[in-house]
């Protein structure tokens, strides 16, 4: 059998970058990557042996992150998120405008749009590969990508306040 | 460039932002954007933001992989977890496996192969005793099924189930007091375990069950830090197990052997 290490390790830097872009926290991002690698190793023999290792790994990471987010919500972190958003809005808006902090602006997008922009725009996933990670048809990827960029532009240009108002 | 009506759809604009269009299509999009000011601004902004995001995250992927995320580290941790789980399962299974194989050997002995007679049943007794020791000696809440307070009842009950009159040897000279005992599966029938404890909380067990054979020498077995002396006497196998050295355990085993035979 091929040594999993030789196949997995070259992908770890990109996994760490994706995790960090999702979480904005270095330690939490590495926790997420560690969980991802552990799960990948435990399912190593049952993976599809067709060279789509990268999409498979990123999908594991993304799903773990979504599950963790759902759990946090169930525990009542929702209230906290609202409060934080309120106080941070002003500073975030400034940062986004002044320093073109696109990474911070990205946080104002729904997870799916955020992941799309990261996978395609940063990790250079093909549209097909991204469709596999998100488990949606490729046509859906294209339309959502367009919407995600539109939204990101709106956050960067107008700040998150306008966007939040419009969403509600 | 061709005229106004080269159809450019949104998918192509996105591919243009991602720099994924080849020559002719890229030229077509550029020509289209040149004629549409607002769209050109929009696409330029999207390309800028894509570039900013890449630049902001570039450093992260250039970092060396932390030790805890190395595959070798994760694999080693997994193997250690797996080994712990397997050894727990093995300890639990050993009691039953030893029981089953001892029964099988007993059968084969009766029918065909007298060659194995002496060794194998003693080994099975020793292994059964060691497995039972490992399982119950660490037990805090219920180390025994019936306590020493009901010693008479305990010995009557175990004797009845074993089909052998069981006495609890007095190990006070060695500092061990009887705590009680329990019934276990063993061979084709039942096994009994008597548990003793010294003042320091160190435990010792006497394991008894039916076995083929009349008399064998002591068989010593070391199982981790648990030492066992096993022997067979008149159709029953006995084993003394404790966390002790061979030299410490031997006199205790001899005393148990003498005590049991003199009364038997």
What's A55's domain CATH number? Answer: 1.20.140.160
Cα–Cα dist A79/A77, whole Å: 6
Mutate to test the interface with B, among A38, A61, A121 (most CBs of B within 10 A): A121
How many structural domains comprise chain A? Answer: 1
In this predicted structure, which of A9-23, B39-53, B98-112 has the lowest mean pLDDT?
B98-112
pLDDT tens for B107-133 read 444 444 333 334 467 888 888 899 899
Q: Which residues of B make CB contacts under 8 Å with A?
A: 10-11, 13-14, 17-18, 42, 45-46, 48-50, 52-54, 56-57, 60-63, 65-66, 68-72, 74-75, 78
Report the pLDDT value the prediction gives residue A143, as an integer from 0 to 100: 95
Environment class of A95 (CB within 10 Å of its CB; exposed 0-12, middle 13-18, buried 19+): middle
Taken in order of first residue, the domains within chain B and their CATH numbers are 10-62 (no CATH), 91-263 (3.30.200.100)
Q: How far is B248 from chain A (nearest CA, A)?
A: 45
Report the pLDDT value the prediction gives residue A160, as an integer from 0 to 100: 67
3-state secondary structure of B250: helix
Please answer yes or no on whether B10 and A156 come within 8 Å at the CB atom. no
Which residue is associated with the tokens 């999702």? A22
Report the pLDDT value the prediction gives residue A113, as an integer from 0 to 100: 95
User: Mean of the pLDDT values across residues A83-110?
Assistant: 62
Q: How far is A79 from chain B (nearest CA, A)?
A: 29
**Host domain of residue A30:** 4-167
Please answer yes or no on whether A4 and B42 come within 8 Å at the CB atom. no
Helices first, then strands: H and E counts in chain B: 7, 7
Report the pLDDT value the prediction gives residue B94, as an integer from 0 to 100: 56
Which DSSP letter does residue B64 get? Answer: P
pLDDT tens for B132-155 read 998 888 777 788 888 888 888 899
Task: List the B146-147 sheet strands across, edge first.
Answer: B146-147, B177-186, B189-197, B203-210, B236-242, B226-233, B219-223
Please answer yes or no on whether A5 and B72 come within 8 Å at the CB atom. yes
**A100 and chain B: CB distance < 8 Å anywhere?**
yes
3-state secondary structure of B117: coil
Helix axes B10-17, A138-158, angle to 10 degrees: 70
Q: pLDDT-based confidence at B225, cuts 50/70/90?
A: confident
């Amino acid at each position: 059998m091929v040594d999993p290490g030789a196949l997995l390790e070259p992908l770890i830097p990109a996994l760490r970058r994706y995790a960090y872009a999702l979480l904005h926290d270095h330690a939490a991002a590495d926790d997420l990557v560690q969980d991802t690698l552990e799960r990948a190793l435990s399912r190593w023999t049952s993976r599809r042996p067709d060279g789509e290792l990268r999409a498979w790994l990123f999908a594991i990471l993304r799903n773990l992150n979504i599950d963790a987010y759902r759990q946090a919500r169930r525990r009542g972190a929702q209230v906290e998120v609202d409060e934080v958003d309120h106080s941070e809005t002003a500073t975030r808006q400034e940062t986004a405008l002044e320093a073109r902090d696109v990474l911070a602006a990205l946080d104002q997008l729904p997870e799916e749009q955020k992941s799309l922009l990261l996978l395609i725009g940063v990790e250079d996933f093909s549209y097909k590969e991204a469709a596999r990670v998100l488990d949606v048809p490729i046509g859906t990827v294209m339309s959502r990508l367009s919407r995600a960029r539109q939204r990101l532009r709106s956050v960067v240009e107008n700040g998150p306040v306008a966007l939040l108002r419009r969403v509600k | 460039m061709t005229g106004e009506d080269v159809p450019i759809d949104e998918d192509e604009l996105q591919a243009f932002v991602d720099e994924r269009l080849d020559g002719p299509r890229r030229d077509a999009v550029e020509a289209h954007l040149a004629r549409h000011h607002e769209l050109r601004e929009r696409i330029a902004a999207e390309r800028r933001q894509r570039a900013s995001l890449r630049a902001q995250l570039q450093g992260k992927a250039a970092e060396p992989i932390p030790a805890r995320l190395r595959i070798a580290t994760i694999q080693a941790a997994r193997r250690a977890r797996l080994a712990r789980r397997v050894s727990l399962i093995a300890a639990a299974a050993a009691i039953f496996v030893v029981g089953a194989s001892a029964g099988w050997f007993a059968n084969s002995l009766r029918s065909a192969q007298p060659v194995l007679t002496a060794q194998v049943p003693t080994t099975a007794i020793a292994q059964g005793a060691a497995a039972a020791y490992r399982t119950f000696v660490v037990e805090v809440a219920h180390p025994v099924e019936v306590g020493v307070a009901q010693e008479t009842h305990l010995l009557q009950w175990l004797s009845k189930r074993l089909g052998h009159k069981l006495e609890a040897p007095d190990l006070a000279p060695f500092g061990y007091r009887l705590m009680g005992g329990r019934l276990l599966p063993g061979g084709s029938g039942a096994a009994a375990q008597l548990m003793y404890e010294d003042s320091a909380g160190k435990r010792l067990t006497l394991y008894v069950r039916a076995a083929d054979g009349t008399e064998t020498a002591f068989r010593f077995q070391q199982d981790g830090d648990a030492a066992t002396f096993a022997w067979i006497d008149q159709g029953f196998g006995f084993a003394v197990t404790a966390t002790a050295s061979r030299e410490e355990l031997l006199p205790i085993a001899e005393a148990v052997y003498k005590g049991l035979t003199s009364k038997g």
